[in-house]
Structure 1
């Protein structure tokens, strides 16, 4: 039972989700989810993988936002 929400997240997907959720800067996203701006920077550069719980949270937020409208 492979749930796609549990998969890791590419830098491009992270960027799309940031935009979809209205986060314009790395700091905006970092503050919203309680991580450092440098962590977000490393994820966006592809130097460090997006942690699965963060990927899952962002996918759930984008999904909830789509259902709300």
Structure 2
């Protein structure tokens, strides 16, 4: 998951801050920051979780 896709996922899921996303998925805010800066890749399980949450949200509407 690229940083742009992560930003888009955050917006889609309603997370306004790095801290909100970090708390929701159980990681540190600094981890989210590194992902958004592209310094560290988003772990595959996290990317899968976010994509599944987006898909579930779309099905709910």
Structural mapping, 1:1-69, within 5 Å: 9-69=1-61
Normalising to structure 2: TM-score of the pair? 0.99
Shift of the alpha carbon at 1:60?
0.1
Structure 2 unaligned blocks of 5 or more = none
Larger Rg: 1
Name the TM-score, length of structure 1 as normaliser: 0.88
Superposed displacement of residue 19, structure 1: 0.4
SS in 2 for 1:44: helix
Please tell me the root mean square deviation across aligned C-alpha atoms, in Å. Answer: 0.2
Output the CA distance in 1 between the equivalents of 2:27 and 2:60.
Answer: 26
Query: Which gives a bigger RCO, structure 1 or 2 (Cα 8 Å, sep 6+)?
Result: 1
